[in-house]
Amino acid sequence: MMLAEMGIAPLWRLRAPPHAGPIDLPQPGAVESRIEPSAVISPASAIAPARRAPTAVEPDAHGATRPRVPPPLPEDSLVQRAGERRAARAGAAGAGGPPAAVAAMEAGEAQARRQRIMQMGWAELKPAVARCVACGLHLARTQTVFGVGDENADWLFVGEGPGAEEDARGEPFVGQAGRLLDSMLAAIELRRGENVYIANVVKCRPPNNRNPDSGEMSCCEPYLARQIELIGPRLIIALGRVAANHLLQTDASIASLRGRVHQYRSAPLIVTYHPAYLLRSLQEKGKAWVDLCFARSTMDALREGRVTGL
Ligand code: SF4
């Protein structure tokens, strides 16, 4: 039924791989992941340590061990601090400060901002995003689109940015593309909000649904990085080239990134097409279904401790 909704039921019968035997997953660069049916390597030792390292640990609702969220810091008035920094920068420029000094000041500010964000818990992170004016995308937004779902999810789906409906409703992946994503989730027995979290690289809608530029994505990056750290997902699915390129820091084509397990920090990451692209390119739905089957089998392997090399 769900395959029919995705429009790929006939393709599935013809093309979906069984993933029954060992899966050898060559990696770009030096990192290689291998899934073997008989290997007994606990996910706790293969994957979780890097997630746990910064803080004390506690088991979550899914039985995994995740970093304990640190207590909220005192209210972080990001907007006020940004204004103070802009004033200081204007003062440096007005005083004839050299461009290199201004650039160094901005780099230092960005680093300090990132460090503050990376210490936030959920309760502090959400309002910080809601009032963020750190890049120009805030000018045209109706509201920020933070992310939605199970904050202890095993599955994290990441798109590039909100569209018009998301901007209006404040939730990622609603509208036609969102309904297709829901069908894709259902096809591998997942549901929005149940062991699934959905987020975007940027939290504000780029005007006219253009792709976010590199400056906007790097400005918003600490929010997604902190979300990922707090969630501690077992597997990240990058939806579309923009999200995949941002998370993997590459400019490789989506075709070359599909079908392999990559890494975002300590988390395995798989790439597939963005649902909005699939709505325009119906012939690619079969490939997306293959990717979802690959993601499902990879998650099974991760749970059974059959993944090495991560
Ligand atoms: Fe802030 Fe991100 Fe929105 Fe830019 S896109 S204003 S960094 S929340």
Rounded mean pLDDT of 13-34? 40
Predicted confidence at residue 100, as pLDDT, reads 81
Over the stretch 213-238, which tens digit does the pLDDT of each residue have? 999 999 999 999 999 999 999 999 99
Ligand 1, residue 132: give the atom nearest the CA: 1
| pLDDT value at 61 more than 70 | no
125 within domain boundaries? no
Predicted confidence at residue 8, as pLDDT, reads 56
274 within domain boundaries? yes
Q: Is 129 in the pocket of ligand 1 (CB under 6 A)?
A: yes
Predicted confidence at residue 82, as pLDDT, reads 54
Write phi, then psi, for 53 (nearest 5 degrees): -50, -40
39 Cα–ligand 1 center, Å = 43
Predicted confidence at residue 307, as pLDDT, reads 76
| CATH code at position 204 | 3.40.470.10
Write phi, then psi, for 50 (nearest 5 degrees): -65, -30
Say if residue 195 is exposed, middle or buried (CB neighbours under 10 Å; 0-12, 13-18, 19+).
Answer: middle
195 Cα–ligand 1 center, Å = 26
Using DSSP's 3-state secondary structure scheme, residue 125 falls into helix
Q: Is 238 in the pocket of ligand 1 (CB under 6 A)?
A: no
Q: What is the distance between the alpha carbons of residues 129 and 191, in angstroms, rounded to a whole number?
A: 25
Q: Which residues contact 13 (CB under 8 A, 6 or more apart)?
A: none
Predicted confidence at residue 174, as pLDDT, reads 93
Rounded mean pLDDT of 249-272? 96
Q: What is the domain count for the chain?
A: 1
277 within domain boundaries? yes
206 Cα–ligand 1 center, Å = 10
Q: What is the distance between the alpha carbons of residues 57 and 246, in angstroms, rounded to a whole number?
A: 29
Q: Give the rounded distance of the alpha carbon of 10 from its chain centre.
A: 31
Predicted confidence at residue 211, as pLDDT, reads 95
Strand-strand pairing, 235-239 and 267-272: parallel
| pLDDT value at 12 more than 70 | no
Confidence of residue 93 (pLDDT cuts 50, 70, 90): low
223 within domain boundaries? yes
Confidence of residue 129 (pLDDT cuts 50, 70, 90): very high
Predicted confidence at residue 153, as pLDDT, reads 98
Strand-strand pairing, 65-67 and 57-59: antiparallel
Q: What is the distance between the alpha carbons of residues 298 and 117, in angstroms, rounded to a whole number?
A: 31
Confidence of residue 103 (pLDDT cuts 50, 70, 90): confident
165 within domain boundaries? yes
Predicted confidence at residue 90, as pLDDT, reads 57
Over the stretch 187-207, which tens digit does the pLDDT of each residue have? 999 999 999 999 999 999 999
Domain, as residue range, for 261 = 145-308
Rounded mean pLDDT of 262-287? 95
Over the stretch 143-182, which tens digit does the pLDDT of each residue have? 999 999 999 999 999 999 999 999 999 999 998 999 999 9
Q: CA nearest 306: which of 40, 32, 19, 26?
A: 40
Q: Dig out the tokens for 270 from the structure.
A: 């798989």
Nearest CA to ligand 1 atom 2: 220
Q: What is the distance between the alpha carbons of residues 211 and 202, in angstroms, rounded to a whole number?
A: 10
| pLDDT value at 115 more than 50 | yes
Q: Helices (DSSP H) in the chain: which residue ranges?
A: 2-6, 9-15, 43-46, 48-52, 78-94, 99-117, 122-130, 164-169, 175-187, 214-231, 241-248, 254-257, 275-280, 285-303
Predicted confidence at residue 263, as pLDDT, reads 96
212 within domain boundaries? yes
Confidence of residue 32 (pLDDT cuts 50, 70, 90): very low
69 within domain boundaries? no
| Positive or negative: CA dihedral 152, 184, 144, 78 | positive
Predicted confidence at residue 310, as pLDDT, reads 67
Confidence of residue 101 (pLDDT cuts 50, 70, 90): confident
Q: Is 166 in the pocket of ligand 1 (CB under 6 A)?
A: no
75 within domain boundaries? no
Q: Is 134 in the pocket of ligand 1 (CB under 6 A)?
A: yes
Question: Please, what is the average pLDDT of the chain?
Answer: 79
Q: What is the distance between the alpha carbons of residues 137 and 205, in angstroms, rounded to a whole number?
A: 7
